[in-house]
Amino acid sequence: MIRPEQVAQLENLELIARQIVEGFLIGLHRSPYQGFSVDFSEYRPHQPGESLDKVDWRVFARSERLYVRRYEEETNLRAYLLIDTSGSMRYPPRASYTKLDYALFLGAALAYLLVQQRDAVGLYAFDEKVQSYLPARARRTWLRRLFMELEPLRGAPPAPRLTLLPQTLHLVADRLRRRSLILLLSDGFVPPKSEEAFLQALARLRYSGHEVLFFRIWDEKTERRFELPLEPLRLLDMESRQEVKVHPLEMQALYQMHFQRWERSLKTFCTRLRIDWVEVDMAEGFFEPLRRYLLKRQRLS
């Protein structure tokens, strides 16, 4: 499997998505996880009595078989990438890639898989408001449009952008009239006063009939275990720009207590509402997140 630090060096998201998916499929073949069906066909067999107008004659010339190109209305599923682009996702600064970059790499790979499986994919990129929106389509040309929409976000510098997860999820619930798969890529960090609102927004998506797969992306070493240099530090809030002076040894136990409390609440809530939860360490590869997506996709078939 190609590593995040390797794909961060690649030129564009289209190339990144292809490299990640190809590596994933090789890894899937070699792994103990068997039985996945990853059908990359863009065509279906021509049915007797069906008009010949939709036959792809170039395919017929190569194969001497009648195939019909699938169109949007024939897709199996509509999925939406919800990518958090807020200030906290632009961590760590001065690194070769950030949580946001990882989310873009993973989101691009998910979109690539979706379209290859004849599913439609759309996009909401958001922080304090929705910054980018694309409706769900299943065409390869639409996939390139999605990559072009995401490309400017790569390497985004730190910025005081708040995370308004509850408002965005309610907006998506308001807009979607058809049952969809919501692929949420976020660190899930919200202010304590917004935690309940975030949970209620997730619940609304489920009660509206949507399936939700939450990829919670973080830096395991510093954000979960709070392993920082053992010296006094000045920490800067990536969203509010508030600065505090701390000593990691004095703060570690308190930080981990709050982190684990929120993590337990979120996990319990997601389990109760049958929201799929994937913990993603941005230092790790893409195999497990993509495998969990395939598991979810197969359950929806």
Give residue-wise pLDDT tens across range 54-88: 777 776 776 677 777 654 444 578 999 999 999 88
Do residue 122 and residue 199 come from a single domain? yes
Q: What is the pLDDT of residue 134?
A: 96
Do residue 263 and residue 217 come from a single domain? yes
Q: What is the pLDDT of residue 266?
A: 92
Q: How many domains does the chain have?
A: 2
Do residue 129 and residue 227 come from a single domain? yes
Q: What is the pLDDT of residue 64?
A: 73
Q: What is the pLDDT of residue 246?
A: 72
CA distance 24 to 109: 10
Chain mean pLDDT for the chain: 85
Do residue 189 and residue 55 come from a single domain? no
User: What's the token pair of residue 271?
Assistant: 């389990």
User: What's the token pair of residue 63?
Assistant: 């194969």
Do residue 32 and residue 120 come from a single domain? yes
Q: Mean per-residue pLDDT for 182-189? A: 94
Q: Mean per-residue pLDDT for 171-192? A: 93
Domain that holds residue 55: 39-70
Do residue 201 and residue 82 come from a single domain? yes
Q: Mean per-residue pLDDT for 208-237? A: 83
Of 117-121, 133-137, 296-300, which has the strongest mean pLDDT? 133-137
Q: What is the pLDDT of residue 73?
A: 43
User: Within a 10 A sphere around the Cβ of 271, how many other Cβ atoms?
Assistant: 11
Is residue 86 classed as helix, strand or coil in its secondary structure?
Answer: coil
Q: Mean per-residue pLDDT for 252-272? A: 89
Whether 94 has a pLDDT exceeding 80, the answer reads yes
Do residue 101 and residue 247 come from a single domain? yes
User: What's the token pair of residue 122?
Assistant: 């759309």
User: Within a 10 A sphere around the Cβ of 88, how many other Cβ atoms?
Assistant: 24
CA distance 93 to 82: 22
Q: What is the pLDDT of residue 41?
A: 46
Of 21-35, 95-109, 215-229, which has the strongest mean pLDDT? 95-109
Pairing status of strand 211-218 against strand 181-186 = parallel
Do residue 48 and residue 183 come from a single domain? no
Do residue 57 and residue 133 come from a single domain? no
Confidence category of residue 146, pLDDT binned at 50, 70, 90: very high
**34-50 per-position pLDDT tens digit:** 445 555 445 567 777 77
Residue that finishes a domain, picked among 23, 52, 70: 70
Residue that finishes a domain, picked among 70, 85, 113: 70
Q: Mean per-residue pLDDT for 199-227? A: 92
